[in-house]
């Protein structure tokens, strides 16, 4: 019977993990302007001009948040709530205190 050898890929044990966090949002599409309203309980309320049609509001939301945070668009991704006003986004490159500081909250 042949032997099977499984080898793990080498990793850098001292490589720091990139900072990141998740953020709960309450979104309002079809708003007069893109803006961060403030905290609504534990969620951040954000208004976007784009309509909630074919993912346009989600795309506008993620681009707006990335611009407000000074991150590239790929640094903000939708984790949950694609068709809901309650969303969870993942932010790569900033921890939660950094997000709050950059948004002035």
Specify if 93 maps to a domain: yes
| Distance, first Cα to last Cα, the chain | 64
Specify if 8 maps to a domain: no
Q: How big is the CA angle at 17 (ends 70 and 38), to the nearest 5 degrees? A: 40
Specify if 66 maps to a domain: yes
Residue pLDDT tens, the chain, 105 long: 555 545 545 555 555 667 899 999 999 999 999 999 999 999 999 999 999 999 999 999 999 999 999 999 999 999 999 999 999 999 999 999 999 999 998
Least Cα distance to 27 among 48, 42, 51 occurs for 48
- Neighbour-count burial of 4, counting CB atoms closer than 10 A to its CB (0-12 exposed, 13-18 middle, 19+ buried): exposed
For residue 65, give the CATH number of its domain.
3.30.1200.10
Domains held by the chain: number = 1
**CA 15/CA 41 separation, integer angstroms:** 36
Domain that holds residue 82: 20-103
């Amino acid at each position: 019977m042949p032997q099977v050898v499984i080898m793990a890929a080498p990793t850098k044990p001292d490589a720091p993990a990139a900072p990141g966090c998740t953020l709960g949002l309450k979104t309002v599409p079809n708003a007069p302007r893109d803006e961060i309203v403030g905290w609504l309980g534990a969620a951040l309320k954000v208004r976007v001009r784009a309509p909630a049609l074919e993912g346009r509001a989600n795309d506008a939301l993620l681009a707006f948040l990335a611009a407000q945070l000074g991150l590239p668009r790929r640094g903000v991704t939708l984790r949950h709530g694609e068709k809901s006003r309650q969303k969870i986004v993942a932010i790569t490159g900033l921890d939660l205190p950094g997000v709050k500081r950059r948004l002035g909250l």
